[in-house]
Structure formats: C-alpha cells, structure tokens
Structure 1
Amino acid sequence: MDHRNAVLGRVAPAFRVWVRPLEALSQPFSWLIVGLTGILAFLALYPSLFLFYGSLVDEPLGVPGHFTLQNYANAFLDLEAYRLMTTSFIFGVGASGLSVTFALILAWITIRTNAPFRRLFELTAIIPNIIPPILISISWVLLLNPSNGLLNVLLMRTFGLEKAPFNIYSIPGLIFVEGLILTPLAFLIIAAALKSMDPALEESAKTLGSGEFGVATRITFPLMRPAILAAGTLNFVRAVESFDTPAIIALPARIDVFTTKIWREALGSFPADHNLAAAYGVGLLGIALVFVYLYRRFTSQVESFSTVTGKGFRPHQIDLGRWRYSASAVALLFLIMMVALPFVILILTSILPYYHVPTWETWQTLTVKHYGYVFQHERVYRAFGNSLFLATVGATLCMLLASLTAYITVKTKIKARGVLEALVFIPWAFPGTALAIGLLWAYVNFPIPIYATIWILLIAYVTRFLPYGLRAVTSTIVQIHKELEEASVSCGAGFFVTFRRIVLPLMRPGIMAGWIILATIYMREFSASIFLYSPGSEPLGPLLFFLYIDGQHGPMAALGIVISVVCTVLIAIAQRFSRWEAR
C-alpha cells in the first residue's frame, strides 16, 4: 500500500458511515456526524412540522386540538384571500423588478463605462446592507409622509402645491421603499456577472460592425440573463417575506400582504388566532420554496452561460464621451435615494427637539438630548444587552455548526454530506415570520422552558441565518489542500487533533469574517424578533419599531444612528479579515 492509500486507509472507517454502520459508529468522528445531523435536523424540521401542525388543529396555542382544514379554508377560500395574494404578488414583483432595474443600471455604469467616480459609486452601493431595513423604511416615511414629510413639504412650499405630491402610505410607496432596500443585493449579483464576463464576444460583435447598443442588447444582456433572473427571483422571495417595510408602511395604510396578515392574526388582534397565522405562514412558505427552487435553477444556469476562461482579461469598458457625466449623475441619484436621504433625515431627526419640518429658526434649537436617552435609558441598555448576547452567542454557535458542516460537506466523501447541506439550507427558504410562528407552536409546551425567553430568539437566529455562516466558511475551506491533513494523519494525529491544529487555524479568517457578518445581521434583525420577544428580552429591532409607533422619533433616530455606526465598524473589521484571508 503506497503512502496515499495508507493515509486514506487510516481515516476511511470514519467516513464509511453508511457502508459499515457498526464499525463506523465505534469512531468518534461518526458520532460527530450523527450528532451534527441530529442538531441540524432538529433546528430545520422541528419548527416546520409544528407550523403545519398549528395550521391543521382547531385549538389555540398550547392546547391539544383536533384535525381540521378550516384554517386553510378561512385563509384562502374567500375574496379577501384573493386580494391578499394579489397584493402580495404585486408587491413582490414590483419590488424585485424595481431593485433589479436600479441594480442593472448602477452595475452597468460602475463596471462597464468610463463614468467619473464609478469606483466610489460601486463601494457606496452596498452601504444600505449595513443599515437596518426598518430604519430605511422609517426614514422614507419621514421624507414622504403626506402630512409632514420633509420632501413633500419642501415641494409644496417651492411649487405652491395644495396637496402633497407623494403618498408613501400606498402600494407604490411600499414597492419603492422595498425596491431600494433590495437593490444592493441585486447589485452584488449582477455586478459579479458583469465583472466575470469575457469581453471577447463583445469585441467580436463590434468588429463585425455592431454599435454599443447592439452589443448590449444582443451579447451582454443575453449572457447576463441567468444572473438577472436569479437576482429577480431571490429579491421576490425577500420582498414577499419582508416584514420591516410592511410594518412601517402597509400596516398604517391598512394594506395587507402575507406578513402583515400573519402579524394581525398572531399579535394584532384579540383574541389572537395562531392557527390562522400558521395557515398563512404555510402559504408564505410554499411561495418561498417555489421561488427558491427557481433561484437555484437560475444560478445553476449561470455556469452554462459562463465566459470566463483561464486567460486574464479586463471587462469591456464603454467610452461614453460627453455622456459620462450624465451617467455619473444617474448613479449619484440612485445613491442619494439609497444612502444620502435616509441618513440625512435620520441625523436631522436625532438632533431636533421634536420631529417637524425645520425652518431657519430651527437651527438654534438643535439638541443632542436624544443621544443622552440612548446612552442612559435602561430600556435601551437592556435591548443593547440582549442584542449583544444574541449576536455574540448566536454568531459563535452558528459558525461552530457551519465550520463542522462545511468540513464534512467539502472534505469528506460520506453520503450524509448532501443531507447535512440540505438541512442547513432549508431555513434559507423560511420567511422570518413563518419561522417565528412555527417556533411559537414548537416550544409552547416544550419540556425545557424556552418559550417566552431570550433562548427562543437565539434558536430562531441560529436556524434562520446558518446558511450565511456556511457560505462564509466554505469559501475558505475549499482553499485548504488535502495534503496538509494527510500529512497530519500520517504523523499519527486523529481527526479532532488534525481539525483543531491544522484545519481550524487555516479557516480562522473565514470564520471571523462570517462571525462578524452574522453578528451584524443579528444586531438589526426584526422580522422574527417582533413575534418571539417577551418583556425583558426585546432586542434592538423591536425597540426601534416601538419607539417609532410611540411617537419618540428623536430617540428612535438617535438609536438608529448608533446601531448603523456599530454595524459599519463590524463590517469594516470583516473586510479586514477578508483581505487577510486573500493574502
């Protein structure tokens, strides 16, 4: 037996779980796989099963009931149900279409043209990913509220209008704000496709006499179609499952989409109807699963449309001539809507004694008392402590599970690796509101007292965002050559020693970057938290919401600025770890 076979022969029994069960179960590594599979299955399937259970019984939360389909009949077999589905579909299509359109224009300007400041625009385009989505929604309400929105009042004063030109409390307003929130995600997908496109085909078309418009319509955009469709389907799912924007805009306007309907049934009515909320959650989950499947299909087609070769190349750049400044102006307009206006109105609101449209006299009354509220009020301290606990412990647990799963799925050949990856990505299709309802049903009678504690929030965070951690660490582990592990095993080290001394140190940059990204997401999570928090365990997302609906706009804006600064610092640290990993 040669050296390679000797090494593989030493570790093979640990990997033949399904071929030789009795022998495999005597190995510690096999017990690790069994335990990890059990944990992932519990996290992914337990709330899913109870979501279905809650939708199929006739008794309220925590009470044994009898089988019934009446909840589905009440949810989907009347005129209101068709109106709900139509509105949700219009909202999803409109927001995803708008985000893809904005992202496509912005990516084309920053990647494929010689527009001035295009590098700055490219970096700025992802800033909205740092800001909590609920803050962006609130900022646009403060800007376009028909009664005292800053932009509406300024336009009315400037042009002598008697009525506000814009009404944010409408379906177009809902679509506009959600489209802006989703634009950075679509931009990342489309920009990556543009950067990786070999310009040889475009140059050949130009050689044959095609103009820039013909090249774009016949070559560039057809090659980008899978990426555009992938961004569109992904953003449709994100829009339909979103509760941040609907909570701020749709609820006051009495516009019902799936997430607001779930909220009304579970929290916004008395008595609460968690059975009907579960039925709506199952419907929302079904829609999400269909479009996640389409997203996976479209992303798999990206490889079929790949034009990247082994030769180095630079993306084809279009000389816009005198129009390059106009292109920069268009990109700047998008970034003003996505970044500048929300930040300006939040900063202004945080230093006004009370929210109003400022006048010249206002500048003499500016105050920082709202920041004093943020740093002194016990309610804020408690929410910060809860979010810090959830971010620290949740991100640590998530990256631990993600690291083990990534190692098994990438570095081993056991048949269970596909099952592990599937279990991780099931929650990726789970809307936050539907997951929250499933967790309420799952843990209300759980033997361990988890219901109505901070621990149910921790379970929700780890379950929902585990795929993000897996993606972060997988990109690192694929770069670790197997010879390093084989050398360790040949020196007598077992799996756990090899993993701890060889693999884990090499994975550290990816683990740290993933940990920081997850901590940032946890610090601003809202959709699941609003359903699962209990008095004393509320994190920052629900606190922002309650400060806003209580009319405490100044403290809300000040707290939002502080959260955004903290998240920005965390993302900057993550970028440093990413650059370290690249070296």
Structure 2
Amino acid sequence: NIFSMPGLIFVVSIYTFPYVFIMLANTLELIASDLEDAASILGASRVRVALTVTLPMVLPAILSGFVLAVLQALALFGSPAILALPAGFHTITTQIWALFQYPPKVEMAAAFSVPLFLATALLLLIQKQLLGRRGYATIGGKGGARRRIPLGPWRLPALAGCLGVMACSIFLPYGILAKAAVARAWAQPLAAENLTLANFALTFGHGATRSAIVNTLELGIMTACVGAGLAALLAYVVNRKLIPGHQLLAFLALAPVVIPGVVLAVALFVAYTRPPLVLYGSLWILFVAYLTKEMPVGYSQSDATFKGVHPELEEAGRILGAGRLRVLGEITAPLARSGIIATWCFVFIGVIRELSASIILFTPNTKVISVVIFDLKEEGQFGAIAVLGLFMLGMTLAAVVVMQTLLGRDVIGTKD
C-alpha cells in the first residue's frame, strides 16, 4: 500500500538515492587506478583494497550524500502531500503547510520549523566529528585506464540488485506513465480499442500548458547557470579557506535545505509583495525561491568535488610562477569540471520538478509544469499528468545528453 508510512519511505528513498550515487560516481572518477593497483601488488586482497584505499577516498562523498539525503527527506513536501495526507497522517512539512491554510497560524509554523534547523546543525556536526581533521584527496588527478573487476559468482546477484533498483525507480513508474499517456482509461488493459493520442493533443494544445513549459525552461536554465557558478565559487572558497569564517559560509550554504518550500514561499511572498522591491507576479520571485532552495544541493556536489582536488596541485602551479586565476583555469577547473556539470544538472532537474514553493508563488501568468500537474491531479486528469511526466523526463534526459555532448564528459558515471 503506497498510501502508508512504509510506502512513503520507499518513494522518498527512490527520490534521494540518485544524489548519493552521482556524488560517489564523480568522486570515484578522481581516484587514480594505480593507487588500488599498488595495494594489490603489495599483496592486499580486493576486499582489503576497497576498505583501506577506496573507501577512505570516497568517505567525504558518502557522508555528504548521507547528510544531503536525510535533509532532503526531512524537507520534502510533494511526496508527503500526495501520499501521506490521503492516508491520514502528516509529516512536518505537510503540517507546516496545513498551518498556512485559512486561518493562517504563522507563529506555530515557525515553531515547527525549529526542529529542522536543529537537525541540520546536528547532522553537520556528526559529519565533522566523523571526518575529524582527516582529508582524502588524490594528488595526481586522474590515473590510468579503468579496469574491470571480475565478480565471479557475485556477478548475477549484483546484476539483479542493479536491475531491481532500476525497475523500482525507472522502468515500472515510467512504464505506467507511458501506458496512461496513450490509454483512454489508464486502469484498463492496453488493448487496441483503449489506445489514443488524444491525451497529447489535449495537453499540448492548451495555451496555459505551453506557457508553463516556457516558464519552466527559462527558470531552469537561468537558475542552473547562476546556481552552479555560485555553488562552485562558495565550495572553492570554503575548501581552500580563503576567507575568515569559511565554516560559517558552508553552514549558511547548506541551511536552506531545511527550510520547507512552503515556509520559504510565504517568507518571499511577504517580503516581495510590497515596496521597495515588488517581485510577486513575475518570474523573478520564483527564480529567487529556486536559487535559494537548490543552493544546498549544488553546494554539496561542488564541495565533494573540490575535496577530491588536492591543494598541493595548485601550490605546485603557483611555485612555477602561475597566478591564482591561471592555476584555477588550467589545473583546478579541468579536474572539477565533471562535478560542476553534475551540479548544473542537479539544479536544473530540481527546478523543473519543484512544487512546494511554486504552489504558493505562482500567478496565472507564471505557472510552471509542476503546478499544472498538481492542478490536473486535483481534477483527476491522469492521462494529461502522464504526458507532462514523460515530457519532464525528456527534458531531464536532454539536459544530461547536451551537457555530455558539448563538454565531452560523462555526468552520470565514470568514463572509460
């Protein structure tokens, strides 16, 4: 039963695991293969190499991914709103949203937000205590060619596990969406008399839907470009300790992840609906909300990336006479490029599916796809929802393919 606490946990797990996976994939790409080969030559088994060489190198990314996944789950609104409320129970975000319904209880909503801030501080403290003063980074950048590791009898179980994750998160959900998009009645068998393309014509023929698609693309591209650049700059400043109080800067960059989107939206609504700066009614208020909301995701990815680029590489360049900007452009940027590309994709994907802030800040002229889908869900238009869901999937895949094609990097995995 998906309308239950175990069902909600299952959906949230599917929602958060890609964040951890891409962080680990980009960190593993920076680990030189000759480090593992050297341990093997000295007689270490594959298990010992993994535990003593590979695991310490990726530990910062694992902890960053864990913290990000937990905080994303705590601050998530969309899935609990759809699954928890019909089941008769609240999460903290849906309870805060309920407190803003008429008559609004702003003070109680603010009190409910305090545990989220405390959870952020506690998780960041645990991460710092576990890592201590240890740092794990590659000194030589990328190593030699990647070599396959024979799994022996574990090959089929490993394949089954990977296919199981892919089935639960991709194949089955989007298979149902594809069926609903071309079916007259989505719950009936997909027979010839049940096939139709009317859902596509109805969805894309509506002027409000086309306007929402344009608004979503504009906001996604603009927020991703600004967010990726700002996140990379903050992560570089914090990791290289360029200014006093860099730890506070890191905390502030991660803090917005625990602010529920509905709370952020109400705060922006109050702040920007009156002079001197009136943004409500334009896309700019959504841009501010999206940039604030997605900054922790972008910063965490960039932070894990710069942790894998050792400062000694930059120091060697400066010793040879290169300035900081030249070192940054010729040494740091090439090594961190895949992580920054992943940050761009993270932010873009997060923006095009954001709901909690959009549902409060939109106007008839500034609707985005997620708001249209939410309205269609209230109307029971599952065919149109399926069409827009597949369209959002297409935009996501297009973003990854374009980035890989233009920049020649594999954003979602390692490259041979």
TM-score, structure 2 normalization: 0.76
Structure 2 residue corresponding to 1:519, chosen from 340, 348, 358: 348
Structure 1 residue corresponding to 2:395, chosen from 559, 566, 582: 566
Aligned-partner Cα distance in 2 for 1:244–1:238: 11
Residue 279 of structure 2 aligns to a residue in which SS?
coil
Aligned-partner Cα distance in 1 for 2:282–2:270: 14
1:388-427 matched pairs, under 5 angstroms: 388-399=217-228, 401-402=230-231, 405=234, 413-415=242-244, 420-427=249-256
Aligned-partner Cα distance in 1 for 2:352–2:55: 39
Give the number of the structure whose alpha-carbon radius of gyration is greater: 1
Q: Cα 1:235–1:302, aligned 2, differ >3 Å: closer, same or farther?
A: farther
Structure 2 residue corresponding to 1:289, chosen from 121, 128, 134: 121
- Percent identity between matched residues is 27
**Structure 2 equivalent of residue 263 of structure 1:** 97
CA RMSD of aligned residues (A): 4.7
Q: What is the deviation of 1:525? A: 1.5
Q: What is the deviation of 1:580? A: 5.7
Aligned-partner Cα distance in 1 for 2:111–2:91: 14
1:79-118 per-residue CA deviation (whole Å, 9 max, x = no partner) reads xxxxxxxxxxxxxxxxxxxxxxxxxxxxxxxxxxxxxxxx
**Structure 2 equivalent of residue 342 of structure 1:** 173
**Structure 2 equivalent of residue 366 of structure 1:** 195
Q: Contact 1:288 / 1:429 at 8 angstroms: preserved in 2?
A: yes
Q: Across the two proteins, how many residue pairs are aligned to each other?
A: 397
1:217-228 matched pairs, under 5 angstroms: none
Give the letter for the 1:435 counterpart. Answer: L
Higher relative contact order (CA 8 A, sep 6+): 2
Q: What is the deviation of 1:188? A: 3.8
Aligned-partner Cα distance in 1 for 2:229–2:54: 40
**Structure 2 equivalent of residue 250 of structure 1:** 84
Give the letter for the 1:576 counterpart. Answer: T
Q: Cα 1:449–1:347, aligned 2, differ >3 Å: closer, same or farther?
A: same
Give the letter for the 2:162 counterpart. Answer: A
Give the letter for the 1:328 counterpart. Answer: L
Aligned-partner Cα distance in 2 for 1:556–1:171: 24
Q: In the alignment, is residue 237 of structure 1 matched against residue 71 of structure 2? A: yes
Residue 277 of structure 2 aligns to a residue in which SS?
coil
**Structure 2 equivalent of residue 540 of structure 1:** 369
373-382 or 451-460: which moved more? 451-460
1:40-67 per-residue CA deviation (whole Å, 9 max, x = no partner) reads xxxxxxxxxxxxxxxxxxxxxxxxxxxx
**Structure 2 equivalent of residue 272 of structure 1:** 104
536-545 or 505-514: which moved more? 505-514
Residue 255 of structure 1 aligns to a residue in which SS?
coil
User: Gapped runs of 5+ residues in structure 2?
Assistant: none
1:378-405 per-residue CA deviation (whole Å, 9 max, x = no partner) reads 1211211221232233334435545665
Aligned-partner Cα distance in 2 for 1:235–1:177: 13
1:328-339 matched pairs, under 5 angstroms: 328-339=159-170
1:135-183 per-residue CA deviation (whole Å, 9 max, x = no partner) reads xxxxxxxxxxxxxxxxxxxxxxxxxxxxxxxx21111111111122222
Residue 289 of structure 1 aligns to a residue in which SS?
helix
289-298 or 173-182: which moved more? 289-298
**Structure 2 equivalent of residue 40 of structure 1:** none
1:151-166 matched pairs, under 5 angstroms: none
Q: Contact 1:403 / 1:473 at 8 angstroms: preserved in 2?
A: yes
Q: Contact 2:185 / 2:194 at 8 angstroms: preserved in 1?
A: no
User: Gapped runs of 5+ residues in structure 1?
Assistant: 1-166, 490-494
Aligned-partner Cα distance in 1 for 2:159–2:335: 40
Q: Cα 1:426–1:240, aligned 2, differ >3 Å: closer, same or farther?
A: closer
Q: Contact 1:237 / 1:288 at 8 angstroms: preserved in 2?
A: yes
**Structure 2 equivalent of residue 101 of structure 1:** none
